[in-house]
Amino acid sequence: MNKAFPKGFLWGGAVTAQQTEGAWNLDGRGPALTDHLTAGSYQAPRIFTKKIDPNRYYPSHSAIDGYHYYKDDLAMLAEMGFSCYRTSISWTRIFPNGDDKEPNRKGLDFYRDMFEECKKHGIEPLVTLYHGELPSQTAIKHNGWLGRETIDLYARFCEVVFKEYKGLVKYWLTFNEINCMTLPVSVDLLVGKMPEADEIPLIIGDPKMKDDPNARFQALHHQFIASAKAVALAHKVDPENKVCGMITALANYPLTPNPDDILATQQSMQAGNYLCCDVMIRGKYPSFSKRLFDNLGVSLNFAEEDEKILSEGKVDFLSISYYASNCVSHIKPDKQVTGNLLMGAKNPFLTASEWGWTIDPKGLRYILNELNDRYQVPLMVVENGLGANDVVESDGSVHDPYRIDYIGQHIRDLRETIDDGVDLWGYLTWGPIDIISASTGEMKKRYGFIYVDVDNEGKGTFARRKKDSFDWYKKVIASNGADID
């Protein structure tokens, strides 16, 4: 038996609108950049097409049809005992073009119904305001986050939903994994700019990609301002609101004790984790940012009011996604391994998932302690889980001991983290119901306790069935984390 978690600890899971809802053009919803991505695989990248081609399959267009199944799905999550459910509001369901005069009532009603349903089951919604779902029109008109105009469009969207769901939603998250922008991944899509080419592959860490650090950090600066404005608005609309920033937590280890590796690791943590956390939690850029920007040749356009906006929009708590740790070397390794957006040297002490993501529960304890030592704000894990290729047996059962093992180990280390003195509010697994994979667009990379009968081409009955892990997680929650065996 494990030691029980503190009373009131939030247990649950997290998804996004784009990976669950489908119904991409129903009831007035407009296209978002994520609707332009075809399905790929571990071996073949997803393709971003400028025009949406009716002859190709775009997973977000149908996803798991959560738009029609959400009541059934929430009932199953409630059966597991969820006390928290994280999803995103699709910006283009509310403002189909990003800058419409009036919000789309049907979109607002859809989420109202969903959040009321959560409350009915005693589930606290935690709502992501931006999970990469930029309106395509905002990409075209303003170059996404490169344009300063996007800040106010986002702030307006936030104000509308804060007012609409006042009293219904209390936990908000401004930007999913805001620190992605610090990593050199496909630049145009990352900053929300419509690419010039008709088609581009989505390759994480593509060595052929021309990086543009100035664009990335300028776009990031705009997201910081947008996030700070959202925090201030949320507090103004309802002082009960609690708003978090979010990073994908980089638990980076030096590959060797070579001091050059130690320094390279420190610098990667500063640039990858702490820059974003410092701005969102402390309300200003850290002193190391000058040298970081000088080295990268970054020169930011700061508006006069930006310092004040940042200092007045500090988040209430910090949330993280965590899947894997990473090894850093001052020499570029011959062979790089990936995690979610991570690239690094292979750690000889750890194994990896079928998709090559390193499995390291202790890394979660390590990074939560690091963040606690530095910030002393409440922390929450809002994504963690194992993507695996589950098999449905002839009797309909799905045996997923690897998932139970992965999540169980992470929960065990989380309990240690609390005893280490970390103020941890909750733990949400990623994709408690199978959803579309963000990196590959596959359906077969499954994270759920609930199996959804949809394949990589979007075909299937969409029926839901419980995997073995369903009853296991139910037992974990019922025992408040004590019974994880």
- Residues 202 and 74: their CA atoms lie apart, in Å, by 32
Give the DSSP letter string of 237-259.
H-TT-EEEEEEE--EEEESSS-H
- Residues 17 and 35: their CA atoms lie apart, in Å, by 11
CB atoms within 10 A of CB 299: 11
Name beta bridge partners: 433. Answer: 450
Question: Can you tell me which of 82, 110, 111, 430 binds ligand BG6, judged by CB under 6 A?
Answer: 430
Closer residue to ligand BG6 (CB): 354 or 485: 354
Active-site choice (21, 177, 370, 442):
177
Q: Tell me which residue has its CB nearest to ligand BG6.
A: 439
Closer residue to ligand BG6 (CB): 231 or 382: 382
Q: SS3 for 322? A: coil
Minimum Å gap between C-beta 155 and ligand BG6 is 22
Q: Which amino acid belongs to residue 339?
A: G
Minimum Å gap between C-beta 128 and ligand BG6 is 9
Binding region for ligand BG6 (CB under 6 A) out of 216-224, 288-296, 330-338, 437-445: 437-445
**Can residue 317 be called a binding residue for ligand BG6 (CB under 6 A)?**
no
Site for ligand BG6 in 375-414 (CB under 6 A): 383, 387
Binding region for ligand BG6 (CB under 6 A) out of 47-55, 98-106, 434-442, 449-457: 434-442
**Can residue 88 be called a binding residue for ligand BG6 (CB under 6 A)?**
no
Catalytic site includes residue 416: no
Q: SS3 for 464? A: strand
Question: Can you tell me which of 445, 446, 466, 467 binds ligand BG6, judged by CB under 6 A?
Answer: 445
Binding region for ligand BG6 (CB under 6 A) out of 150-158, 301-309, 409-417, 438-446: 438-446
**Can residue 177 be called a binding residue for ligand BG6 (CB under 6 A)?**
yes
- Residues 57 and 456: their CA atoms lie apart, in Å, by 9
Instruction: Draw the binding track, 340-359, toward ligand BG6 (x: CB under 6 A; -: no contact).
Output: x-------------------
**Can residue 248 be called a binding residue for ligand BG6 (CB under 6 A)?**
yes
Continuous H helices in 297-400? 306-311, 361-375
Binding region for ligand BG6 (CB under 6 A) out of 23-31, 93-101, 116-124, 435-443: 435-443
- Residues 449 and 475: their CA atoms lie apart, in Å, by 13
**Can residue 176 be called a binding residue for ligand BG6 (CB under 6 A)?**
yes
Residue 142: C-alpha distances to residues 136, 158, 160, 182, 319 (Å): 10, 18, 21, 21, 29
Question: Quick one: CA dihedral 323, 329, 330, 335, positive or negative?
Answer: negative
- Is residue 283 within 8 Å of residue 228, measured between CB atoms? yes
- Residues 167 and 112: their CA atoms lie apart, in Å, by 11
- Residues 164 and 170: their CA atoms lie apart, in Å, by 12
Question: Can you tell me which of 23, 64, 189, 438 binds ligand BG6, judged by CB under 6 A?
Answer: 438
**Can residue 186 be called a binding residue for ligand BG6 (CB under 6 A)?**
no
Size of the site for ligand BG6 (CB under 6 A): 14
Minimum Å gap between C-beta 437 and ligand BG6 is 4
**Can residue 439 be called a binding residue for ligand BG6 (CB under 6 A)?**
yes
Minimum Å gap between C-beta 238 and ligand BG6 is 26
- Residues 443 and 446: their CA atoms lie apart, in Å, by 6
Closer residue to ligand BG6 (CB): 309 or 407: 407
- Residues 216 and 208: their CA atoms lie apart, in Å, by 17
Closer residue to ligand BG6 (CB): 86 or 235: 86
Minimum Å gap between C-beta 445 and ligand BG6 is 5
Catalytic site includes residue 177: yes
The residues, any chain, with a CB within 8 Å of residue 226's CB and separated by 6 or more, are 150, 151, 154, 155, 174, 175
Active-site choice (117, 124, 370, 383):
383
The token pair at 164 is: 């609409």
Whose tokens are 């910090």? That residue is 318
**Can residue 136 be called a binding residue for ligand BG6 (CB under 6 A)?**
no
**If you compute the radius of gyration of the chain from its CA atoms, what whole number of angstroms results?**
21
Minimum Å gap between C-beta 24 and ligand BG6 is 16
Residue 450: C-alpha distances to residues 72, 447, 468 (Å): 12, 9, 9
List, by residue number, the catalytic residues: 177, 383
| Chain positions contacting ligand BG6, by CB under 6 A | 16, 176-177, 248, 321, 340, 383, 387, 430, 437-440, 445
